[in-house]
Structure 1
Amino acid sequence: MSIKLTAVALGVTLAFGAASGAMAANNATIYQNGWGNDSSIEQYGNINATATVNTYGNMNDNVVVQQDTMATTATINTNWGNNNDNYISQRDVTGSSATVYQAASFSDVVIEQGGTTSTVGGGCNWFGCWPGHPVTVDGTNQVAAVNQLSGWGHDAYIGQTGHNVTGTINQSGHKNEAVILQRGTGGDPDSAIITQSGGHNKASVDQYGKGLNATVLQQGSYNVATVTQRNSGQNASVTQVGNFNKANVVQH
């Protein structure tokens, strides 16, 4: 899994800085046609906001950051070209969705959804100062989807923290890697689905929480599937059609 994308995302975010504002419905769209382009959409404190990025070309970096949002949507479409990096971050979100579509090769996708951590309770008086304590606000009702249906050599990662979250990765081609990491914090079910067609692909699902559901479907040869589930209410299904495949399911 490439780590270059995380650095790119952080660099773009720091370059533009974080903003804040009143809850409002905002819409942002970026269209780029060419090579070596960078794009960034940042939305803070929004309701029913949408962020859409459409790119055509090679070696483009696309970043969408949404924070303190409700019922928001982020979409990145990489219609053709190779070596594109796409990053979506949704923090402290409720009822939000993130979708990435790629029709190329050697592209990376990272989607992160979850809560935020802040410090409360600290302060000072005449007698001195005392530290605060961290408080985490969980994300709820999150949907993340990655579709890499053309090309090969893709990396896709979905990380979700909260409850009632769903992550889906669809890949076709060979030498692709898909990872879904979910940390459930409530009693609502969490679902992870990975579908791969082709050879020499890798699929990994790691879940912690209650009411866990993991599904992996691989068609082709020399594929590897790994599912790890912790806590309670676990359901795992791995289906492999082809030759010389490996599957491992661990439930705690």
Structure 2
Amino acid sequence: MMIFRIMNPNTFVSQTNQNFLTMKKLLAGAFALMAVTVGFAQDNHDETTQLGNFNKAKVDQHGKQNSNNIKQDGNSNNAKVSQYGQYNSNKTMSVGNKNDELVYQSGKSNSNDTWQLGNRNDATTKQYGEFNKVNQKQKGDDNSVYALQCGKRNEITQNQNGDDNNASSEQYGNDNKAAQSQKGYDNNASSWQNGARNVVSQNQNGDGNSAKGTQVGYDNKISQTQTGDFNKAIAYQIGDRNSIKETQLGNKNYANDFQDGCDNDIVVKQIGNLHDHVGIQVGNSNSQNILQESGNSNGGACCTPLMPDPKCPTNSGGC
């Protein structure tokens, strides 16, 4: 004999309501999880604007509170930005055609600001560490700028106005500063710092000039200023609290200074054309003050009454 059990309709309705409530809770939990996931994704911020044709931008941000802003106005510009860590920020803008920008930041609170106006310019920024800053601006065509920092609280500022200029700066350590400015054509500037609290300042106005500053140690200072064409300035420091200041006004002048020790000082000023100077200091607390002007083909090293040089006229009484 078959026995049929008749269920109470109220029991069926109650069970259905319970299943509905359970499903509602599951869906609510799922949406809450999705909201949390979206919240984490929104920790980083990106804003990319492209006006023109064939522009490319690639952005990778990993961590939290990183910020990126890219603006491209023109054709065939390319930007690639990678940020790892937290509180890093990047702003890049290219106005023109075929400009390239590469930014890589890893660490905490690093910032980069790059601005390019013209065609076929190239800008690179690489930062590793904390609280480093890079500011780079280029106006013209076929310029190239490069900045690399590894450490804490380093600063690089590079500005170029003209065509075919190149600037590069590298910093290793803490609290170093480098500022390079070039206006004209075919100029080259480079700085390399390893240590802490070193300062390099290089300014060039003209065509075909070259400036190079190298520092290894602490609290060293280099200042190089060149106005004219085809001038060359070199400064190299090893040690602490050394200072080199080179100023050249004219064309085809040459200055090369080397310091190895502590508390050394060199000041060089050359006005006119075809002057050359070589300064060497090895030891501590040495001082040089060189001025050359109003003539051509002067040399920075010559004879003195105590150290006669056969190359100097015998009736000159020294230099």
Q: If the length of structure 2 is used for normalisation, what is the TM-score?
A: 0.31
Which structure ranks higher in relative contact order (CA pairs < 8 Å, sequence separation ≥ 6)?
A: 1
Q: If the length of structure 1 is used for normalisation, what is the TM-score?
A: 0.38
Q: Work out which of the two has the higher radius of gyration on C-alpha atoms and give 1 or 2.
A: 2
More helix by share: 2
